[in-house]
Structure 1
Amino acid sequence: MVMHRRLFIDGWRHAVALPIVRGIKAGAIALTLFFALSVSASAAADVAALRQKAEQGDATAQYGLCMAYFKGKGLAQDDRQAFEWCHKAAKQGHARAQAALGMYYEDGIGIAQDKAKAAHWYQKAAEQGSRFAQHCLGVLYYNGEGIEQDKQKAVYWFQKAAEQGHAAAQGALGVCYEQGIGIAQDEARAAYWYRKAAEQGFATAQLCLGQLYYYGEDLEQDKQKAVYWFQKAAEQGHAKAQYNIGFMYHNGEAVPKDDVRALEWFQKAAGQGLAEAQYTLGGMYYYGLGVARDYAQAAQWAGKAAAQDFVEAQQVMGMMYCYGRGVDKDYAQAAQWWRKAAEQGDVTAQRGLGALYALGQGVERDYGQAASWWGKAAGQGEAKAQYALGMLYALGKGVAQDSRLAAEWLGKSAAQGDEDAAKALQLLQQEGIEALVEKYNTVTVTLFEGDIIFDKGIRIITPK
């Protein structure tokens, strides 16, 4: 449910994202929060008297005893006993017990998880007006968990709960309006519901509202308001909001440009495991932005993001191992990281992996593999990979010699301004493929070394 719109910081091939939350999961609301307001009253009650009433069939007492067991107030904490008393009260139509029973089944607390039963009990409580159950039922319909997915029904129940002031439901309804899920897309209505939830302190809605103001696609752009809401969410510990604040300090958007402050926010988000922040923090250390340059720290943070399958970080780790920056030079490790990124379509990693195969560094030399990976990068418009692939066709290494394909790929590279490709193409056109082979065949290794692997640094990628 999450989509990343990418913005870019100069340097570290920087895909700095302002993540947009595309869904809010009700299951993230802990069962303890559901009970929080009423436990104190039941804790103060005489448990023996409560049990006597519960055993006589009093639904309110049964629910109270459930809460006492759940919190361990006046007796030993026991999830199974809590469930049993909750179930008794729910069967008698007690709305709060029905909603709680839904959570027991949804999260599998003290019982086997069963989302179909969770939906059943949420439905009963929702029909009695429980805003908590309405929100949870909406999420089950949204995700198709335990019941058939139905986004329109999800919106219906989100609306019911939102109108009663349930913050998470208001946020979820905002998502539906923003993306046109189960209802006509309407960014103004999305902002309305996000603001309702944000004003109640719901951090995810604060993030989403800030995002709307930042981009200003249908809502009037206002980066001051974006900062305000990002700050609210960030101060509550929301990692993506912390990241966004760091981004704005780095760029000097609606706040003074300050890489030291940016670094602080990136560190907070990275410490919570946000891959984009870990990767970005690595870039700050790599270039010494807001902190002394430290390749070891750069590699450490990029490595954390790479371990989360963050493709840009995997590409960077390949570069770090190939250069020996912050880590010991290790072409085999470089090849492993580049392969991970290349398989996800990263064009720089595809080019680098192709070069390692051509050079036999970290892998056994294999011009067929080089041609394959350079072909993938070349197909994405990567100029140096187009040049390298053209030369393989000219030299007949890894592919059948083919002057037409050599000219085609050299021409594509030359059209992007690659001078090496332009010189090779000129020789091919003026003197033929034999002349090109005679000049280059004896220096194959030096041909594929150097800037075919890198541009002697980390490429600055422009926004897509």
Structure 2
Amino acid sequence: MAWLHFGGLGVQQSDEEAFDYWYHVHVRSTDAVLKPISTFMVGWCCYLGRGTRQDSAEGFRLFGQSREQGLLLGGKWTMDWSWGSPLDELESLSAIATRFYRCCAVSSDGTNMLLDHLLAMCSLYGFGTTKDQPKAAAALQELATDGFAPSQIALGSCYHCGIGIEQDDHLAFAWFSRSADQLDFWGQLCLADCYSAGYGTEADPLKATELYQAASDQGNASAQTRLANRYYTGQGVDRDYAQAIRWYRRAAEQGNANAQNKLGNCYQNGIGVDRNFQMAMECYRRSAAQGNAAARRSLSMLRLWRTL
């Protein structure tokens, strides 16, 4: 019923009704296919403010939860693949992938930007359907031109990586700028990365920091980690360990593995906080549990050092 209401197929289109149905499945279902799909779609409703209050950070938390439940398209892959991450691991014809693609395809009538965006992303990755990256890039171009911020980010990523379209960092920068102009916190992050590294524009540490701050204030854990790094090193801002700790903590509380590792390092060495090996080990454990190799090494070395 959620998909029928979201697409307005045979019933009155209603984001609120769709959200309620998806949320019910997200909270109560144990179905291994329907639950992660519903979690993912509740995340999108939160991210965009469709059928519920807009909360981009909560949306991203739910994207991550959907990946943990088995929907590979969730987590960092929802947005964060533009800086060289391998896309092949997203190619899937699993039960979840094929069901998700079929639901999007059946519900879309060409007027629902989110559904059309998700279909394009499925085509880009080969998630539940045949991979066709030029077709996906063309669809994202149309949606981006119509002003859909997530498609602007995805199109910018395609231009940056040369996926389905000729590589062009200047156009990547332009599309990230348009999404950031809409205050999309992932668009702000991508644009900040461009200013930080000089992709498609002259490097501008101050502008990068300003954008990291804007995205951080909206709850973007990746931006919070990057902002903390800049306070830690004094790049684009005066060095301030107290501010670095503040933002590492904010990101770590949201489960960002890099922030957890950095916070552990600060506790281990007494940087910006009192030295506390127990807290350091706890931060390293949380980061290592997510696969952070640096945290695993630090945790092993700290354990060894404490036995000497």
TM-score, normalised via structure 1 length: 0.47
Kept in 1, the 8 Å contact 2:196–2:205? The answer is yes
The within-5 A match list for 1:43-442 is: 62-64=11-13, 68=17, 71=20, 115-116=97-98, 118-119=100-101, 122-123=104-105, 128-324=110-306, 329=307
Structure 1 distance, partners of 2:14, 2:267, is 55
Give the counterpart letter for 2:147 in structure 1.
Answer: G
Assess, with a 3 A threshold, how the Cα gap between structure 1 residues 323 and 134 changes in structure 2: closer, same or farther: same
Aligned residues: 241
Give the counterpart letter for 1:244 in structure 2: R
- Asked if 1 retains the 8 angstrom alpha-carbon contact of 2:261 and 2:287, the reply is yes
Amino acid at match of 1:226: A
8 Å Cα contact 2:173-2:200 kept in structure 1 = no
CA shift digits 1:84-109 (9 cap, x unpaired): xxxxxxxxxxxxxxxxxxxxxxx8xx
What is the percentage of aligned positions where both structures have the same residue?
30
How has the CA–CA distance of structure 1 residues 308 and 71 changed in structure 2, closer, same or farther, with 3 Å as cutoff?
A: closer
C-alpha contact 2:170 2:199 (8 A) present in aligned 1: no
* Cα distance between partner residues in 2 of 1:116 and 1:65: 25
Structure 1 residues 61, 318: CA separation in 2 closer, same or farther (over 3 Å shift)? Answer: closer
The CA RMSD measured in Å over matched residues stands at 3.2
Contact 1:134/1:160 (8 A) holds in 2:
no
Shift of 1:121: 6.1
Q: Counterpart amino acid of 2:190? A: C
Residue identity matched to 2:253:
G
- Per-residue CA distance 1:26-69 (angstroms, 9 max, x = gap): xxxxx89x96xx9xxxxxxxxxxxxxxxxxxxx78722589547
In 1, are the aligned partners of 2:231 and 2:243 still within 8 Å (CA)? yes
Question: 1:220/1:191 Cα in 2 relative to 1: closer, same or farther (>3 Å)?
Answer: same
Q: Is the CA contact 1:210–1:226 (under 8 Å) kept in the aligned structure 2?
A: yes
Which letter maps to 1:292?
D
Structure 2 stretches lacking a partner, 5+ long:
27-70, 72-94
Counterpart code for 1:133: L
- The residue that corresponds to 2:45 in the other structure is none
Against the structure 1 CA distance between its residues 65 and 135, is the aligned structure 2 distance closer, same or farther, given a 3 Å change threshold? closer
Alignment CA distance shift 1:183-1:308 (3 Å): same
Higher Rg: 1
What 5-or-longer segments of structure 1 have no aligned partner?
1-30, 39-58, 80-106, 108-112, 331-464
CA distance in 2, matches of 1:148, 1:163: 25
Shift of 1:309: 2.3
Query: Could you tell me whether the CA contact under 8 Å between 1:69 and 1:78 is conserved in 2?
Result: no
